[in-house]
Amino acid sequence: MIAILLLISATFHPAQPAVGDLITVDFEQAPVVLNASPEYELVSQQGKRVVIRTFKPRPFALSGVSGDVAFRNMIVPVRSVIAPNDPMTPAPLKPPRAEPYERLPFIAIGIAALAAAAAWYAAMRMSKRAPAATSAMATLLSPDERFRRAVESLLSRPQPLRWAALADAVRAYLAATSAASADMTTTEVLARIDRPEIATILSAGDIEKFSTDEVARDDFETIARRALELAA
């Protein structure tokens, strides 16, 4: 049989809870069963201890059973977090705090950009020096040696428009060693130099350079080696 009392002993922690605080209530006997109430929220309940909280800024009453004893109107003091006579005026908004300026990423980007520019400049200078060095070396060679190297390069490394390249080499050699200047047409060159291999080379070169037709010859190596006899 459950005894009904108006008052029962219990301890609260904290002693003066505020709105939203977790309030621990320790009773003398277990088990403890609290009656449901809209005044508070039951957070946990175990043995003689219950944990509750409220979001209403005023005291409230507990009722329930502790062991075999029923109780009611156990007042739980709750203080408001708002000061007395608070005008409830919102605090002035503060401007957002400026984030510190991160310079390191921009410094790294700048260094990378300078390095890339330096590498590009160095590559450009080297690319300009290489053709100049090649041209200077070629100038030191005799016309015969330049012609032999050009023809041997075409024989060792096949390439598109090889007849046109061979014709250009022959024209350059003739311009350096004979009365046939580089600006002469094929007809004018052949009128001055009557050699069948030269006629074959210049005619095939003109077809590759100035016509959409293909050169119908498969004796490039033979003709090129015969052309080398010019510089023998």
DSSP secondary structure letters along 83-141: PTT---PPPPPPPPPPPPP--HHHHHHHHHHHHHHHHHHHHHHHHHHHHHHHHHHHHHS
Q: What is the Cα–Cα distance from 101 to 94, expressed in whole angstroms?
A: 20
Sign of CA dihedral 29, 32, 35, 38: positive
User: Is the whole model's pTM more than 0.75, yes or no?
Assistant: no
Per-residue buried b or exposed e for 173-196, using 16+ beta carbons within 10 Å of the residue's own CB: bbbeeeebeeebebeebbeeeeee
Give the model's pLDDT for residue 139: 60
Give the model's pLDDT for residue 135: 53
Q: What is the Cα–Cα distance from 144 to 65, expressed in whole angstroms?
A: 122
Give the model's pLDDT for residue 26: 92
DSSP strand pairing (10-13 vs 23-27)? antiparallel
Give the model's pLDDT for residue 133: 47
DSSP strand pairing (3-4 vs 69-76)? parallel
Question: Are 81 and 19 spatial neighbours (Cβ–Cβ below 8 Å)?
Answer: yes
Residue 58 CA, distance from chain mean position = 59
Question: Are 57 and 19 spatial neighbours (Cβ–Cβ below 8 Å)?
Answer: yes
Residue 36 CA, distance from chain mean position = 59
Domain ranges of the chain: 3-76, 139-231
* Residues facing 42 on adjacent strands: 52
Q: What is the Cα–Cα distance from 80 to 60, expressed in whole angstroms?
A: 13
Written as tens digits, the pLDDT of the chain (232 aa) is: 334 444 577 888 898 898 889 999 999 888 899 999 999 999 998 889 999 999 888 899 989 998 888 888 888 888 877 766 666 677 777 778 777 767 888 888 888 888 888 888 877 777 666 555 455 555 678 888 998 999 999 888 877 888 999 999 999 988 888 888 888 888 888 888 888 888 899 998 899 888 888 888 888 989 989 888 887 7
